Amino acid sequence: MQKTSTLYLSEDVEAYGSGLKNVYSECEANHTSVSYEKYKDGFSFIFKRENGSNSGSNGSNQIAEISEDEQRILRALEENPRMTIRDLAKRISKSERSIQRILNGLKEKGCIERIGGTRGFWQVIISTFREDGR
């Protein structure tokens, strides 16, 4: 209860227990279908637009499957959007070339976008909520 009280008092949450209700209300108001998946250690939302498009570029109605390595990179970029390929390679124990391939795949799926050039940062568009990397 202490964590939720802190979030409420810092105005990071509007009210206790209103998050899911607000998500569903906003989706209904914007004609977006939503499904909710619960895991033992987290949850995720899947949003589908009426026109059949999604944030990815694969043209399907569902977000493409995200691999464990892709999720690890997404989490790292959420923590520090200015991470370099070299930083990511060290963090997840992969070669810089492998990291570049994974980043290219995430960009193609619409999960991330590079803002700026060499001194820019990564914007995570599709976030990962799970802690176990699956």
Query: Does residue 8 lie within any of the structural domains?
Result: no
0.85 surpassed by pTM: no
Query: Does residue 80 lie within any of the structural domains?
Result: yes
For 88, the domain range is: 56-124
- Closest to 43 measured CA to CA, from 27, 64, 19, 61: 19
Mean per-residue pLDDT, 49-57:
49
pLDDT tens digits, 8-17:
676 655 666 6
Query: Does residue 70 lie within any of the structural domains?
Result: yes
Q: Look at residue 56 in the predicted model and tell me its pLDDT.
A: 44
Average pLDDT score over the chain: 76
Alpha-carbon distances, residue 126 vs 45, 74, 101, 122, 123 (angstroms): 10, 8, 18, 12, 9
Q: Look at residue 24 in the predicted model and tell me its pLDDT.
A: 77
